[in-house]
Amino acid sequence: MVPQLDSYFKEVDGLQDKFIERLREAVAIPSISSEDERRPDVIKMGEWLASQIRALGGTVELRQLGKQPGREHLELPPCLLGRYGDDPKKRNVLIYGHYDVQPAQLSDGWATDPFALSIDDKGRMYGRGSTDDKGPVLGWLNAIEAHQKAGIELPVNLIMCFEGMEENGSEGLDDTIRAEAKRFFKDTDVVCISDNYWLGTEKPCLTYGVRGCNYYSVEVSGPGQDLHSGVYGGVSHEPMTDLIRIMNSFVDPDGTILVKGISDLVAPLTDDEAALYPPIAFTMQDLYQSLGSEVAIHEKKEDALMHKMRYPSISLHGIEGAFYTPGAKTVIPAKVIGKFSIRTVPNMEIHEVTKIIQKHVEEEWAKLKSKNTMKFNIVHSGKWWVEDPKHWNYTAAAKAVERVFGVKPDMTREGGSIPVTLTFQEELGKNVLLLPMGSSTDAAHSINEKLDKRNYIEGTKLLGAYLHYLAEEPTK
């Protein structure tokens, strides 16, 4: 049965000015979670969001998470645990989002005040948090309001989890999810997260996987202090020479990983999966535009997409302890720390990856016959996440996309990790869907972050429609 959605859609259109005002109010609260002095604004933002939900008839607990570990002068912003509807006959959808934002100030190069929503003649709504993640979170509230105005009952119960520390390590979130998995979240049937982006600007996508990230450092030290290269060059083993050799051993300029054993861990490409890439609305021109130049390794879009989504990669990020400012300094740094990371994909077991990389580093080190000292460190590691895109959570979302936008969504995986997906998958054992609202040009985390009016309003329709299809989708 096709859900009756026309009157809901009509109310969304009719309420769009109100929805934009809601976003304007939210953007005006500079809820930057990584700046100490903005912490009260993050907390204020959580309270504002709670009051909005309560005004719509939802129930909310602002779960206090205590002091921030290691920075005990700071109170963590609360995790908003909310409910809208508790009909035992309905399915339960856990929706996740975050109400904190990245840092921003006009002097970074913003064209307009980042905390005053500014709409241009193309309907681009500029403001910090517009697309990441205040717009999508408010999309759920807008959907509730439009349903109420249209006199249509929400076909599912909503369980809400909105955090205020996402841009600062999601401190406290995993503990909350673990603690509430069998309590507040226990009725969850599926999870939906709206906190990522379309691949381009025209076609929506559903995201069913993200790569993981293992981040390492290699520390090389030797001399007791920095040395003058004139006095000691050629006399002393130099930590930089050794470190550069180690860092040179991981990856070729064309991206080929040189660490033996890594590629054996990667899941083979099936025909089923291979068929997912060609229809994706993405061109090499799109890639060049987002790279800001034509330095793509691959010539074909399918190759580029697969290397972004389903193959591992190693990047060299930098060196701590060496000379890094403009100009010239004739220093032999005494201790240098190289930073690099590997993006992981199915079926790479992350501890196995670490074992292989550590062994590789130790073997390369032994070859150097250096009198310096080397230390290998794991900085952090986060597993990849992937879902079955044929699950009813996805098929329902795909139908909603087709209903609102008239096209089948791209089925995508992302390059960068979104750790909460994995936590929900593992702790709740339920299917997790990433259902983005914004587009690839939204500049989340950059200056001039924006959300297009079309994405906000049609996105609100999509979130509502998804709930209806979800309510009716056969679970097979």
One-letter amino acid for residue 470 of the chain: L
Q: How far is the CB of 245 from a copy of itself (least distance, A)?
A: 6
**Coil vs helix vs strand at 96:** strand
| 454 marked among binding-site residues | no
Judged on CB neighbours under 10 Å (0-12, 13-18, 19+), 232 is middle
Active site includes 242? no
Q: Which residues in the 270-329 window bind Zn ion by CB under 5 A?
A: none
Q: In this structure, what token pair is assigned to residue 339? A: 């930073």
Report the site for a copy of itself in 260-299 (rule: CB under 8 A): 287, 290-298
**Distance of closest approach, residue 133 Cβ to a copy of itself, in angstroms:** 16
Residues facing 452 on adjacent strands: 124
**195 binds, options a copy of itself, Zn ion, none, Cβ within 5 to 8 A by partner type:** Zn ion
User: 161 has which bridge partners?
Assistant: 81, 96
Residue 443 found at the interface with a copy of itself (CB under 8 A): no
Q: Find out whether 466 and 193 touch, Cβ atoms under 8 Å.
A: no
Query: Among the candidate windows 28-36, 173-181, 322-330, 354-362, which touches a copy of itself by CB under 8 A?
Result: 322-330
The interaxial angle of helices 301-309 and 284-291, nearest 10 deg, is 60
- Pair 197, 99: CB distance under 8 Å: no
Instruction: Respond yes or no: is residue 166 known to be catalytic.
Output: yes
Amino acid of residue 194: S
**How buried is 122 (Cβ within 10 angstroms: 0-12 exposed, 13-18 middle, 19+ buried)?**
exposed
Q: What does 133 interact with, of a copy of itself, Zn ion, none (CB < 5 to 8 A by kind)?
A: Zn ion
Give the shortest CB-296-to-a copy of itself separation in angstroms: 6
Asked whether position 41 contacts Zn ion by CB under 5 A, the answer is no
Residues 382-421 that bind a copy of itself (CB under 8 A): 414-417
Q: Does 236 bind a copy of itself (CB under 8 A)?
A: yes
SS3 216: strand
Stretch that binds a copy of itself, among 31-39, 142-150, 336-344, 348-356 (CB under 8 A): 336-344
Residue (191 or 337) nearer to a copy of itself, CB: 337
Which of the following is catalytic: 41, 100, 238, 442? Answer: 100
Contact pick of 228, 260, 300, 351 for a copy of itself (by CB under 8 A): 228
The two beta strands, 431-434 and 190-193, are parallel
**In whole angstroms, how close is the CB of 133 to Zn ion at the nearest point?**
4
> Do 455 and 415 contact (CB within 8 A), yes or no?
no
β pairing state of 373-382 and 212-221: antiparallel
Task: Summarize the annotated binding site as residue ranges.
Answer: 98, 132, 167, 195, 228, 330, 343, 417, 445
Q: Which residues form the interface with Zn ion (CB under 5 A)? A: 132-133, 195
Task: Summarize the annotated binding site for substrate as residue ranges.
Answer: 195, 228, 330, 343, 417, 445
